[in-house]
């Protein structure tokens, strides 16, 4: 769960392709386009006429990734949308495969102006879509201390959420809760400096606020509910998660829906070689499920 500045390599790429098995003529959705690494590989594997719809909440991701995928022409369509809008994006179309690579992307972490990282001073924003919703600073201002403590405990799994919330609100009341550095200082004042080999003391609090600002778990639930409806019979959904709250939701959805058959008994994790190349992969877990046909459901 620790935050690091990563390269922009797509995580678990070979494993994702093995699950989705892209084919010529297929239609695929990358619900987290990011910088297009997974999308590019899916389009290459589904040549010459497989199609892909790339979706992202972040307008900048769409803008910066469009040139990378331009060589695929009308085989690719990019859409600014959130998970909850997936069925509206697809309309009557059904897809052979769906991928979601959850959480904050490497470019979002690397850009201090987005406010996701505690490693560099930036505005306390954290919105994946800067055109919508409250920033983290605004959320803190509109949330009382008890609600903030509950949020940090529930979404960050931070045991010392109460004193952290108290420290945050104390700084906020004095006009000193405007940047990522301010938020980190509040958490460090409670938890102390980073221990050797441990995660940064701000990690869980930053995670909690990011999840809250973007409604990430609610968006994930909406995506998981839509999966059986948007897949063709035999279609596969592959979802990469990075912390236990996400992984539990995916596991529960894939195992609990009679229309789906998990194709991964346990989550797939990165090889040692990939972890060495791309530290972001260390906490990644891939789960996949196949859409059963109506005939199989009836058995």
Q: How far apart are CA 65 and CA 67, in angstroms?
A: 6
- Four-point Cα dihedral 107, 111, 116, 120, nearest 10: 130
Annotated binding site for S-adenosyl-L-methionine: 36-38, 56, 83, 101, 108
User: Are 178 and 137 contacting, i.e. CB atoms less than 8 angstroms apart?
Assistant: yes
Which distant-in-sequence residues (6+ apart) come within 8 Å of 193 by Cβ?
201
């Amino acid at each position: 769960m620790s935050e690091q500045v990563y390269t922009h390599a797509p995580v678990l790429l070979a494993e994702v392709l093995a699950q989705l098995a892209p084919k010529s003529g297929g239609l695929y959705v990358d619900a987290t386009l990011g910088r297009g690494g997974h999308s590019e590989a899916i389009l290459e594997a589904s040549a010459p006429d497989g199609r892909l719809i790339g979706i992202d909440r972040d307008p900048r991701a769409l803008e910066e990734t469009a040139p990378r995928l331009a060589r695929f022409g009308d085989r690719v369509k990019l859409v600014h949308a959130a998970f909850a809008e997936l069925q509206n994006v697809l309309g009557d179309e059904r897809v052979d495969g769906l991928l979601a690579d959850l959480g904050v992307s490497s470019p979002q972490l690397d850009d201090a102006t987005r406010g996701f990282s505690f490693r560099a001073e930036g505005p306390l924003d954290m919105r994946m879509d800067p055109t919508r919703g409250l920033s983290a600073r605004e959320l803190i201002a509109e949330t009382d201390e008890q609600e903030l403590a509950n949020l940090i405990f529930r979404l960050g799994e931070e045991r010392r959420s109460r004193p952290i919330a108290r420290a945050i609100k104390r700084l906020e009341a004095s006009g000193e809760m405007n940047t990522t550095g301010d938020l980190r200082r509040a958490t460090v004042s409670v938890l102390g400096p980073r221990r050797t080999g441990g995660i940064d003391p701000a990690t869980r609090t930053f995670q909690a606020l990011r999840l809250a600002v973007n409604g990430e778990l609610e968006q994930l639930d909406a995506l998981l509910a839509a999966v059986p409806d948007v897949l063709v019979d035999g279609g596969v959904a592959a979802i990469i998660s990075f912390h236990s709250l996400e992984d539990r939701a995916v596991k529960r959805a894939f195992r609990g829906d009679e229309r789906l058959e998990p194709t991964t008994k346990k989550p797939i994790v990165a090889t040692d070689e990939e972890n060495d190349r791309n530290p972001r992969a260390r906490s990644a877990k891939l789960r996949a499920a196949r859409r059963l046909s109506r005939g199989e459901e009836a058995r």
